[in-house]
A = this chain, B = another copy of it.
């Protein structure tokens, strides 16, 4: 039997659009991995009546209800008193929780306030959940076989609590049927082109396997989903379909499931014993950030230059002033020179360079906003390609970085 969960995030700031709700995203993924199906996610205001109504509603639909937010020490945090009312109970003091809160303040060398002390008072019918990274404990309630869990809204506190305490307890308590997902990750091909190329295969998919196209920035994920009682059986069925579709799309596929392009690339470079260097103009550090967000990237990444001005392109990367003048900074010869020279200067085997017009300013008739040149260089060759993205600065930066990573991938796979 599959167990169903609802996620409720509490906070006016989410409804007013002042805070991006990343918690419910992370929670969905963590529950999905644990075999618990999230059926609904709701964000509501930090108001007594809203919280009461929402929990009551969710209880009629789901087995597990997870609440985040509204547990801070300040007076605008209403979740705890409202749950006391909902369960018709009272607060009791937990000395072990107080000791933990005190330790946090001692370690941080900060003084504890009255408000923080009250965080050790919890509803009588709940089991406290340890908050390793913060002062607001989580609360685990049970009622008619259903579980209601309240957690702080601070992302890293909530995540630690889920991973160490809540998920193991949920998995134990709810014996689940299985949902199985397989994700095929592609880059450098638009959704509709991909759909056309796999159309014949898609039409012949077994009825109990669902296919979804998930386009993100410059990439499309294909997700196959199957449900059943026997996990081996459904896994096998999905694997057979993956084997059938792969020959049709092999050149676009860089990984599966949670594989990130930059992580895959790192592994590829490490395998080949090659080091990477980058020169970024319009991406302004975003490409380097993607690369260095990979733990252990220092094993295959030497470093970057971000010569934002033409003067620095000339001084630091030996792009001649004549070339800059004749072709402009956003041009094939400039990104080729940048890639070749950053490769040598930073003692790398492989390098890419990006120069473009991210916008909103700087566009012209000939080179409108969204025009981006990307150069690639390794020991034996160098090559460059022009892209035409959008009018949006943020999107152009991200598309350019993905295209640059893909250019490295394609060229490394050629060797």
Q: From residue A279, how far is it (CB to closest CB) to chain B in Å?
A: 10
Contact assessment for A190 and B110 in the assembled complex, using a CB-CB cutoff below 8 Å: yes
Contact assessment for B390 and A133 in the assembled complex, using a CB-CB cutoff below 8 Å: yes
Contact assessment for B295 and A72 in the assembled complex, using a CB-CB cutoff below 8 Å: no
**A174-B279 Cα distance, complex, nearest whole Å:** 51
CB within 8 Å for A16 and B38 given contacts A25-B21, A72-B213, A113-B192: yes
Q: Mark A21-44, 1 if CB is under 8 A from B, else 0.
A: 110111111111000011111111
Q: Is A397 an interface residue (CB 8 A)?
A: yes
- Chain B residues positioned under 8 Å from A288 (CB to CB): 280, 284-285, 288-289, 306
- Closest B-chain residue to A302, C-beta based? B309
- Closest B-chain residue to A388, C-beta based? B108
Q: Mark A296-318, 1 if CB is under 8 A from B, else 0.
A: 11100111111111011000100
**A207-B190 Cα distance, complex, nearest whole Å:** 54
Q: Which residues of A from 1 to 32 have beta carbons under 8 Å from B?
A: 12-22, 24-32
Contact assessment for A40 and B43 in the assembled complex, using a CB-CB cutoff below 8 Å: yes
- Chain B residues positioned under 8 Å from A21 (CB to CB): 21, 24-25
Interface size class of A (residues with CB under 8 A): 35 or more
**A216-B202 Cα distance, complex, nearest whole Å:** 43
- Chain B residues positioned under 8 Å from A287 (CB to CB): 285
Q: From residue A63, how far is it (CB to closest CB) to chain B in Å?
A: 15
Contact assessment for B39 and A41 in the assembled complex, using a CB-CB cutoff below 8 Å: no
Contact assessment for B75 and A202 in the assembled complex, using a CB-CB cutoff below 8 Å: yes
Q: Is A395 an interface residue (CB 8 A)?
A: yes
**A293-B193 Cα distance, complex, nearest whole Å:** 31
- Chain B residues positioned under 8 Å from A116 (CB to CB): 192
- Closest B-chain residue to A195, C-beta based? B74
**A154-B156 Cα distance, complex, nearest whole Å:** 28
**A306-B20 Cα distance, complex, nearest whole Å:** 29
Each complex incorporates copies of this chain amounting to 2
Contact of A13 among B211, B214, B303, B311 (CB under 8 A): B214
CB within 8 Å for A76 and B41 given contacts A289-B289, A304-B285: no
Contact assessment for B39 and A42 in the assembled complex, using a CB-CB cutoff below 8 Å: no
- Chain B residues positioned under 8 Å from A110 (CB to CB): 190, 192-193
- Chain B residues positioned under 8 Å from A295 (CB to CB): 359-361, 393
CB within 8 Å for A312 and B346 given contacts A74-B195, A288-B306: yes
Q: Is A286 an interface residue (CB 8 A)?
A: yes
Q: Is A228 an interface residue (CB 8 A)?
A: no
- Chain B residues positioned under 8 Å from A263 (CB to CB): none
Q: Which residues of A from 207 to 249 have beta carbons under 8 Å from B?
A: 210-216, 221, 223, 225
- Chain B residues positioned under 8 Å from A202 (CB to CB): 75
Contact assessment for B308 and A306 in the assembled complex, using a CB-CB cutoff below 8 Å: no
Q: Mark A130-154, 1 if CB is under 8 A from B, else 0.
A: 0001000000000000000000001
Contact assessment for A293 and B284 in the assembled complex, using a CB-CB cutoff below 8 Å: yes
**A231-B334 Cα distance, complex, nearest whole Å:** 54
A interface residues with partner B (beta carbon < 8 Å): 12-22, 24-32, 37-46, 50, 72-76, 110, 113, 115-116, 133, 154, 156, 181, 183, 190-193, 195-196, 202, 210-216, 221, 223, 225, 278, 280, 283-293, 295-298, 301-309, 311-312, 316, 345-347, 359-361, 390, 392-395, 397
What are the 7 closest A-B residue pairs judged by CB atoms, nearest first? A284-B292, A17-B29, A285-B288, A17-B28, A285-B285, A285-B289, A304-B306
